[in-house]
């Protein structure tokens, strides 16, 4: 049965929640918060379904609507034509922390998972006290599903998706197994499903996504789809239109075929919404978990990072700036583009606004209850730019390379060797130098000092990922 809410009761609930919201510290902020909380419901008549599709290692320039010339992505290009492109959307630089910051609304200075740390063959599990987007959707009466690569806890752990806000799960629990598209098994909830290495996992997962949508089409649902394409291995059932490409290596043909296959299945997901009559009731997001992997020359050959410097595992723009498309017929204006600076940790409060619930406090890695690091970008989605709040700064850290990064406005700091006690800071003006080719730190010492202070303050100790000197 469809879940509905009396409009007047809903607005009263929003106003009551506003009293304790952090944005109510001033009359201007209170007005903005109220506007944000009710905006979608003044324009639409019901809470939308939400589908968040996140591919694995897809670069900023890997799809046509973001500049790709060699790989065909007609379905994603059509999605962009029917929705909005976000040109300044940020993830993390590797798999597990990207998933953590998306689901918990915390940047890597505060999040529990900050690297691909493994224990018992699986990634470090989210603690039992974690509050994820999945939990928020469940509490709001949505049915929740996750199909794809989880990477936040293995079987029997506190991080299992069924314990982290997802009614249904199908896919890879750990990341190592997900590097093979013909696995000997996948997981369905807590059950191991034997496959004998005979089935292409992406195809199986797409069928599960379509089945979940059809089964739950008469009630509000949240579907999180962390696809594994185009992460290596280079494996695909057929090369299709790329089979006879002259001058292409075998891996380049495979990479292109993998991306086009994923593109086709995004189109199938959207087509299913139309067929079921819930297209206008569903917002679909599409993005990538980090920059391109770049193996076998694929980065240079396809210009996978577009105009950006760096790839996966870098904190330069090419490692963390990712394509993002949002489609919501009747609400998001077709063929639009926004340069609003947004991040994975913004998805949490944005989804709260889409549901009409107050963004709750979350728990930082040190166990303290605090506000999310995210800012809802619902106003930008709906073309209400005059209501859109902006980030004071964005922050990243990556222990494996002992680096931090801060973006504040046009300024970008990349701070290296932070474990030595004598870090080296680079500074870039992204407005003038998007490729981060000219380090101007020496000519802007005041700006460098300000961003270094932000970097130090944004980091709290996480014993699993010590990064700063003396930790």
Query: Which residues on adjacent β-strands are paired with residue 428?
Result: 412
The domain that holds 358 is classified in CATH as 3.40.720.10
CB of 330 within 8 A of CB of 48?
A: no
Using the 3D structure, point to which of 391, 416, 440 is the last residue of a domain.
Answer: 391
pLDDT in tens, 400-459: 999 999 999 999 999 999 999 899 999 999 999 999 999 999 999 999 999 999 999 999
CB of 76 within 8 A of CB of 63?
A: yes
Listing DSSP states for 49-109 in one string gives: EEEEEEESS--TTSSGGGT-SSS--HHHHHHHHTSEEEEEEE--SSHHHHHHHHHH---TT
182 lies in the same domain as 225: yes
What pLDDT is recorded for position 406? 98
336 lies in the same domain as 445: no
100 within a domain of the structure (yes/no)? yes
267 lies in the same domain as 234: yes
Two structure tokens written together for 430: 């992204």
Two structure tokens written together for 424: 């080296």
User: Position of tokens 């020359």?
Assistant: 297
115 lies in the same domain as 213: yes
Using the 3D structure, point to which of 341, 372, 391 is the last residue of a domain.
Answer: 391
What pLDDT is recorded for position 87? 98
Predicted TM-score (pTM) of this structure? 0.91
What pLDDT is recorded for position 45? 52
471 within a domain of the structure (yes/no)? no
What pLDDT is recorded for position 279? 97
Torsion, Cα 297 244 322 186, to 10 degrees, reads: -100
Cα 77 vs. chain centroid, distance in angstroms? 19
197 lies in the same domain as 249: yes
335, exposed or middle or buried, with CB in 10 Å at 0-12, 13-18, 19+? exposed
Listing DSSP states for 100-143 in one string gives: HHHHH---TTT-S--S--EETTEEPPPPTT---HHHHHHHTT-E
172 lies in the same domain as 23: yes
The domain that holds 411 is classified in CATH as 3.30.1120.10
351 lies in the same domain as 446: no
Listing DSSP states for 227-276 in one string gives: --TTSSS---S--GGGTT-TT--HHHHHHHHHHHHHHHHHHHHHHHHHHT
| Listed residue (392, 384, 272) closest to 336, CA to CA | 384
294 lies in the same domain as 343: yes
**By residue range, what is the domain housing residue 183?**
7-391
136 lies in the same domain as 231: yes
387 lies in the same domain as 450: no
Q: How far apart are CA 87 and CA 80, in angstroms?
A: 12
pLDDT in tens, 79-133: 999 999 999 999 999 999 999 999 999 999 999 999 998 888 899 999 999 999 9
pLDDT in tens, 34-50: 454 445 444 445 799 99
Long-range CB contacts (< 8 A, 24+ apart) of 430-433? Answer: 430/317
Using the 3D structure, point to which of 347, 369, 391 is the last residue of a domain.
Answer: 391
Residue segments in the chain with a per-residue pLDDT below the cut of 50: 1-31, 33-34, 36-38, 40-44
């Amino acid at each position: 049965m469809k879940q509905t809410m009396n409009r007047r009761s809903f607005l009263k609930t929003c106003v009551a929640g506003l009293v304790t919201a952090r944005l109510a510290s001033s009359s201007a902020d209170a007005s903005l918060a109220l506007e944000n909380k009710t905006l979608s419901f003044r324009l639409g008549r019901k809470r939308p379904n939400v589908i968040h599709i996140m591919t694995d290692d897809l670069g900023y320039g890997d799809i046509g609507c973001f500049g790709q010339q060699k790989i065909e992505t007609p379905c994603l290009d059509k999605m962009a034509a029917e929705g909005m492109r976000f040109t300044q959307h940020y993830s993390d630089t590797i798999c597990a922390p990207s998933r953590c910051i998306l689901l918990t609304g915390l940047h890597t200075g505060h999040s529990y998972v900050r690297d691909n740390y493994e224990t018992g063959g699986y990634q470090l599990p989210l603690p039992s006290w974690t509050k994820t987007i999945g939990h928020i959707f469940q509490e709001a009466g949505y049915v929740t599903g996750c199909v794809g690569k989880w990477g936040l806890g293995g079987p029997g752990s506190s991080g299992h998706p069924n314990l982290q806000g997802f009614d249904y799960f199908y896919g890879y629990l750990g990341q190592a197994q997900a590097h093979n598209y013909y696995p000997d098994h996948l997981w369905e909830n807590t059950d191991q499903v034997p496959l004998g290495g005979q089935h292409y996992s992406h195809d199986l997962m797409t069928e599960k996504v379509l089945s979940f949508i059809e089964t739950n089409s008469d009630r509000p649902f949240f579907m999180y789809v962390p696809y594994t394409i185009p992460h290596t291995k280079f494996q695909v059932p057929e090369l299709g239109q790329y089979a006879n490409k002259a001058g292409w290596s075998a891996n380049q043909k495979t990479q292109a075929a993998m991306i086009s296959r994923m593109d086709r299945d995004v189109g199938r997901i959207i087509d299913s919404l139309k067929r079921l009559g819930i297209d206008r009731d569903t917002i679909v997001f599409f993005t990538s978990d980090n920059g391109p992997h770049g193996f076998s020359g694929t980065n240079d050959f396809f210009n996978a990072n577009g105009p950006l410097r760096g790839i996966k595992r870098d904190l330069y723009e090419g490692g963390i700036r990712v394509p993002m498309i949002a489609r919501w017929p009747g609400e998001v204006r077709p063929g639009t583009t926004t340069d609003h600076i947004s991040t994975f940790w913004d998805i949490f409060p944005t989804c709260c606004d889409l549901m009409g619930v107050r963004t709750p406090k979350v728990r930082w890695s040190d166990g303290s209850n605090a506000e999310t690091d995210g800012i809802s970008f619902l106003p930008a989605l709906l073309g209400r730019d005059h209501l859109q709040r902006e980030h004071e700064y964005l922050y990243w850290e990556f222990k494996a390379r002992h680096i931090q990064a801060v973006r504040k406005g046009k300024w970008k700091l990349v701070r290296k060797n932070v474990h030595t006690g004598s870090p080296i800071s680079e500074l870039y003006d992204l407005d003038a130098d998007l490729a981060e080719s000219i380090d101007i730190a020496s000519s802007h010492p005041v700006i460098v000092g300000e961003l270094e202070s932000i970097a130090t303050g944004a980091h709290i100790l996480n014993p699993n990922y010590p990064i700063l000197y003396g930790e």
